[in-house]
Amino acid sequence: MNAQTLKRDVSAAIDAMAPTLIAVSHFIHDNPELNFKEFKSSARLQQAVRDAGLTVTGGAYGCETGYESEFGKAGAPVVAILSEYDALPGIGHACGHNVIGSAGLGAALGLAKLGAALPGRVRYLGTPAEEGGGGKEVMAQHGAFKGVDAAMMVHSSGFDIETMPCLALTQVDVIYHGQSAHASAMPHRGLNALDAVVLAYQGIAALRQHIRPTERIHGIITDGGQAANIVPERAAAHFLVRAENAKDLAKLKQRVHGCLEAGALATGVRAEINWAKADYLDLKTAWPLAKSYRANAETLGREFVDVEKLPAGTAGSTDMGNVSYRVPSIHPMIAIAPMNVVIHNPEFTRWAKSDRGDKGVIDGAKAMAMTAIDFFCDADLRKRTAEGFAESGGGEAPNGTFRTDGKVFAAGCGCC
What pairing do the DSSP bridges indicate for beta strands 216-223 and 168-177? unpaired
Distance spanning both ends of the chain, measured CA to CA = 42
pLDDT at 19 over 90: yes
Q: 309: pLDDT confidence band, cut at 50, 70 and 90?
A: confident
Q: 35: pLDDT confidence band, cut at 50, 70 and 90?
A: very high
pLDDT score for 285: 97
Any idea which fold 3-166+283-391 has? Aminopeptidase (3.40.630)
pLDDT score for 204: 98
* CATH ID of 168-275, from 1.10.260.40, 3.30.70.360, 1.10.1240.10, 3.40.50.920: 3.30.70.360
Q: 217: pLDDT confidence band, cut at 50, 70 and 90?
A: very high
Region 189-211: what's the mean pLDDT? 97
pLDDT score for 313: 64
Give the residues across from 316 on adjacent strands.
166
Q: In what order do the strands lie in the sheet with 270-275?
A: 216-223, 234-243, 168-177, 270-275
Rounded CA separation 44/186 (Å): 60
pLDDT at 18 over 60: yes
pLDDT score for 1: 77
pLDDT digits (tens, 9 = 90+) for 124-166: 999 999 998 999 999 999 999 999 999 999 999 999 999 999 9
The CA dihedral of 297, 6, 83, 308, to the nearest 10 degrees, is -30
Residues of the chain with CATH 3.40.630.10: 3-166+283-391
Provide the mean pLDDT of the chain: 95
pLDDT score for 395: 84
pLDDT digits (tens, 9 = 90+) for 92-116: 999 999 999 999 999 999 999 999 9
Percent over 90 (pLDDT), the chain: 90
Region 387-411: what's the mean pLDDT? 85
pLDDT score for 311: 75
pLDDT digits (tens, 9 = 90+) for 265-304: 999 999 999 999 999 999 999 999 999 999 999 999 999 9
Give the residues across from 82 on adjacent strands.
125
Helix 379-391 and helix 355-377: axis angle, to 10°? 100
Residue 292, helix vs strand vs coil: helix
pLDDT score for 404: 84
Residue 145 contacts residue 151 (beta carbons within 8 Å): yes
Position with higher pLDDT, 1 vs 227: 227
pLDDT score for 132: 87
Region 313-332: what's the mean pLDDT? 92
Residue 228 contacts residue 183 (beta carbons within 8 Å): yes
Rounded CA separation 102/18 (Å): 10
Residues of the chain with CATH 3.30.70.360: 168-275
pLDDT at 208 over 70: yes
- Ranges of beta strands (E only) in 158-269 are 168-177, 216-223, 234-243
Give the residues across from 335 on adjacent strands.
157
